[in-house]
Amino acid sequence: MGVPTATRPVPKDQRDCAGRTRSAGSVVVVLGVLAAAFAVTSSVVPKSARGPAKPEPVAAPVAPAAVSTVRHTVGYELLGAHGARNVTYAGAGSALIQRAEVPTPWSTTFTEPGPAGRAEVASLAAQNPGPGELRCRITVDGVVVAEKAVTEPGRFFSCAV
């Protein structure tokens, strides 16, 4: 049998609703949890959900600058003794065009509209069936802008601007 022990009575201002004693440590923990919840909520909730936004200043409309359009003539050439395989080039409107095999000499041209002063983008790729040299050439408005050659049979290569 146990011996009854004497306990000191706890003042009523330190008891919870059920009459249990509450410690100062539990009050600190609850306050800490509330502060952490507030900090997380304020960083997660977007600023727009926190209240009305300040009106942004309205900029005056800017009229687009007039752009002059010109037409460029783009030419592709393949030169060699044995034709070319797997020919791929950017055509009019940047359409990708592919040919399984072409005889050499081979060429194609197209006219492309574009802003004045802008460099035309063009590319030509092919595989040398060999033996011998296969050469590619790109011209824009009659001026050679890219040229490359390969001699190894089976080798892929490209010209690009």
Higher pLDDT, 82 or 44: 82
Per-residue pLDDT, 69: 82
Question: Which tens digit of pLDDT belongs to each residue from 109-144?
Answer: 998 887 777 766 789 999 999 889 999 999 988 999
Question: How would you classify residue 34: left for phi > 0, otherwise alpha for psi between -120 and 50, otherwise beta?
Answer: alpha
Residue 59 lies in a domain: no
Residue type (1 letter), 104 = T
Residue 140 lies in a domain: yes
Regarding whether 110 and 150 lie in a shared domain, the answer is: yes
Smallest CA-to-CA distance from 113 within 142, 72, 141, 74 is with 72
Q: Match 């095999």 to its residue by tokens.
A: 101
Regarding whether 138 and 80 lie in a shared domain, the answer is: yes
Residue 141 lies in a domain: yes
Domain residues for the domain of 73 are 69-160
Per-residue pLDDT, 107: 94
Per-residue pLDDT, 77: 96
Question: Which tens digit of pLDDT belongs to each residue from 49-93?
Answer: 555 666 777 777 777 766 788 888 999 999 999 999 999 998 877
Regarding whether 98 and 30 lie in a shared domain, the answer is: no
Residue 56 lies in a domain: no
Domain count of the fold of the chain: 2
Question: Which tens digit of pLDDT belongs to each residue from 4-18?
Answer: 555 566 566 655 555
Regarding whether 76 and 43 lie in a shared domain, the answer is: no
Strands 106-115 and 143-150: unpaired
Q: Match 């309205």 to its residue by tokens.
A: 58
Regarding whether 83 and 45 lie in a shared domain, the answer is: no
Higher pLDDT, 23 or 120: 120
- Specify the pTM: 0.57
Per-residue pLDDT, 147: 94
11 vs 5: CA distance, rounded Å:
19
Residue 61 lies in a domain: no
